[in-house]
């Protein structure tokens, strides 16, 4: 048996056993996720004991398919996306065995929700410019500063935190990465209400918050490298979701056309164009998944996030246009409320008007479309980067504002 076949047999056997011993339709989700973790089917490429079977990451798609076919609960991935989608990869690549042992299982079972503390008021797209300070004090670090746009921080037990530990070095080199207890003294979380009135995200303030050195990820000064691992996982997690044909916002557009459409041939043609663009994107995602599964990822794996952001904005705007004056109303009204992970806007069906508002975030969250185009241009097409005036300056000398 070749290596690949042996790995396939191992994964298939573990999956068959999991589904037989823990039938998804009768086992509560938390218990199922625990069993899935123990079976090594949480992140199948991770080490045994860390929720994996130490096989090729290409088997992830196989595991997803089997789970979907069996009707197993998989919503932990979206509800705890920052933990399961990003933090896990950070711990696998940069964490110690003790750290993986402590955090991975409760992350996967949703006993502990995670958030990501990267952006700051002065560091958005240019996240390496961040200024939250961590200063060593014996076996602890003392943190001061402010983070922003922190999704689910108000529900989170743990945060992935990047701090500046050496302001005398150029910006990428003076950073250190931690896991912070969100309930610790000196960590304060305030909701930030967004365009729809909902608060999916927060501001987080650090006022002499203390982090044990055991929660440091990788070396002092390695924060940028660890952040890159996080962001790469983020873009895969956001761009890689597939919905069935005709579902999601284009489904709402079709429904609106059938309800409110005036039969205008030009509008109908525009709807067909949008439907075609969405279907082309969907097929491209399927192609990307197939190639990832085969271990031959290509450029098609990187286009989804950008394409989705632009298209979803267009489709939701089209739907509201179809509603005529109805589009001047918003059925949910506006109330300021902090989200929960079950009910957050990205997890439920919104009115077309609210979906239209929420869509504005698609081209900003998880890397703006401008940054995504830079990434496609530079990393996929190999075009040269912009000249950077701040690259070799000590961080403390870089102009800010």
Partner 1 sequence: MAESITFAPTDEQVLLASTIRELVDASTSMDRTRELSLTVDAFDTEAWEGLKQMGVVGLTMPYEVGGGGASLDDLGVVFEELGRRVVAVPLLSTTMAMTAIHASGSAAAADLLPALASGDAIGTLAVHEGPHGDPLQVPNTTAIEVDSGHALSGAKRFVTAGPLASTFVVSASLDGELALFIVHVDAEGVDVQAVSALDATRPLATVTFDGAEASLLAVGDEAREALSTALDIGVLAMAREQVGGASACLDMAVEYAKSRFQFGRAIGSFQAVKHMCADMLVAVEHARSVAVYGCRVEDPAERDIAVPLAKSVCSAAYLQAAGDNIQIHGGIGFTWEHDAHLYFKRAKSTSLLLGSVDAHRDRLADVLEL
Q: Determine the 3-state secondary structure of 330 from DSSP.
A: coil
Does 306 interact with partner 1 (rule: CB under 8 A)?
yes
Count of residues near partner 1 by CB under 8 A: 46
Cα 172 from chain centre: 22
Length of the chain: 401
**Whose structure tokens read 């197993």?**
72
Name the minimum Å distance from CB 258 to partner 1: 8
Q: Using the 8-state DSSP alphabet, how is residue 54 labeled? A: S
Residues labelled catalytic: 234
In the bound state with partner 1, the residue whose beta carbon lies nearer, of 179 and 311, is 311
Does 284 interact with partner 1 (rule: CB under 8 A)?
yes
Other CB atoms within a 10 A radius of the CB of residue 338 amount to 18
In the bound state with partner 1, the residue whose beta carbon lies nearer, of 21 and 290, is 290
Q: Using the 8-state DSSP alphabet, how is residue 112 labeled? A: S
In the bound state with partner 1, the residue whose beta carbon lies nearer, of 135 and 383, is 383
Residue range at the interface with partner 1 (CB under 8 A); choices 8-16, 142-150, 222-230, 286-294: 286-294
Asked if 113 and 341 touch (Cβ cutoff 8 Å), the reply is yes
Residue from 68, 136, 373, 400 in contact with partner 1 (CB under 8 A):
373
Residue from 4, 294, 336, 349 in contact with partner 1 (CB under 8 A):
294
Residue from 280, 329, 331, 337 in contact with partner 1 (CB under 8 A):
280
Name the minimum Å distance from CB 303 to partner 1: 5
Please state whether beta strands 140-147 and 187-192 pair in parallel, antiparallel, or not at all (unpaired): unpaired
Query: Residue 137: which H helix or E strand, with range?
Result: strand 133-137
Does 241 interact with partner 1 (rule: CB under 8 A)?
no
Asked if 107 and 84 touch (Cβ cutoff 8 Å), the reply is yes
- What lies within 8 Å, CB to CB, of 383 at 6+ separation is 377
Name the minimum Å distance from CB 395 to partner 1: 24
In the bound state with partner 1, the residue whose beta carbon lies nearer, of 195 and 272, is 272
Residue range at the interface with partner 1 (CB under 8 A); choices 6-14, 70-78, 168-176, 280-288: 280-288
Tokens of 316: 């939701």
Name the minimum Å distance from CB 2 to partner 1: 17
Residue from 10, 62, 374, 390 in contact with partner 1 (CB under 8 A):
374
- Helix locations, 87-214, DSSP H: 88-94, 97-108
Buried b (16+ CB within 10 A) or exposed e, 279-300: eebbebbeebbebbbeeeeeeb
Name the minimum Å distance from CB 253 to partner 1: 10
Asked if 168 and 394 touch (Cβ cutoff 8 Å), the reply is yes
- What lies within 8 Å, CB to CB, of 333 at 6+ separation is none
Residue from 16, 208, 290, 397 in contact with partner 1 (CB under 8 A):
290
Residue from 138, 387, 399, 401 in contact with partner 1 (CB under 8 A):
387
Taking each helix axis as running N to C, give the angle between helix 97-108 and helix 29-38, from 0 to 180 degrees, rounded to the nearest 10.
150
Does 381 interact with partner 1 (rule: CB under 8 A)?
yes
Positions that interact with partner 1 (CB under 8 A): 244-245, 254, 257-258, 261, 265, 268-269, 271-273, 275-277, 279-281, 283-284, 286-287, 290-291, 294, 296, 299-300, 303, 306-307, 370, 372-374, 376-378, 380-387
């Amino acid at each position: 048996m070749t290596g690949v076949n042996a790995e396939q047999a191992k994964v298939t056997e573990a999956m068959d056993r999991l589904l037989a011993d823990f039938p998804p339709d009768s086992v509560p989700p938390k218990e199922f996720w625990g069993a899935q973790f123990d079976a090594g089917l949480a992140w199948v490429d991770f080490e045994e004991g860390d929720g994996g079977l130490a096989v090729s990451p290409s088997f992830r798609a196989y595991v997803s398919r089997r789970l979907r076919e069996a009707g197993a609960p998989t919503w932990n991935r979206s509800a705890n996306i920052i933990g399961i989608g990003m933090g896990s990869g950070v711990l696998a690549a940069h964490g110690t065995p003790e750290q993986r042992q402590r955090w991975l299982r409760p992350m996967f079972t949703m006993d502990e929700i995670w958030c990501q503390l990267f952006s700051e008021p002065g560091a958005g797209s240019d996240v390496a410019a961040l200024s939250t300070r961590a200063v060593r004090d014996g076996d602890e670090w003392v943190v001061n500063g402010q983070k922003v746009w922190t999704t689910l921080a108000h529900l989170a037990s743990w945060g992935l935190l990047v701090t500046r530990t050496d302001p005398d070095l150029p910006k990428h080199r003076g950073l250190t990465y931690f896991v912070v207890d969100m309930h610790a003294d000196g960590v304060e979380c305030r909701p930030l209400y967004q365009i729809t009135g909902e608060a999916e995200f927060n501001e987080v303030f650090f006022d002499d918050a203390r982090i044990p050195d055991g929660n440091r990820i990788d070396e002092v000064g390695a924060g940028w490298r660890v952040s890159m691992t996080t962001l790469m996982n983020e873009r895969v997690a956001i761009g890689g979701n597939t919905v069935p044909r005709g579902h999601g916002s284009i489904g709402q557009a079709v429904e609106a056309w059938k309800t409110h459409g005036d039969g205008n041939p030009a509008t109908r043609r525009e709807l067909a164009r949008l439907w075609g663009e969405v279907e082309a994107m969907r097929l491209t995602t399927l192609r990307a998944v197939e190639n990832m599964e085969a271990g031959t990822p290509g450029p098609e794996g990187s286009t989804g996030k950008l394409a989705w952001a632009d298209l979803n904005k267009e489709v939701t705007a089209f739907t509201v246009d179809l509603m005529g004056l109805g589009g001047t109303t918003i059925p949910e009204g506006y109330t300021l409320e902090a989200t929960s992970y079950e009910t957050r806007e990205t997890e439920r069906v919104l009115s077309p008007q609210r979906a239209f508002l929420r869509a504005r975030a698609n081209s900003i969250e998880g890397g703006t479309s401008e940054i995504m185009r830079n990434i496609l241009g530079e990393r996929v097409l190999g075009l040269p980067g912009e000249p950077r005036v701040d690259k070799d300056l000590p961080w403390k000398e870089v102009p800010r504002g």
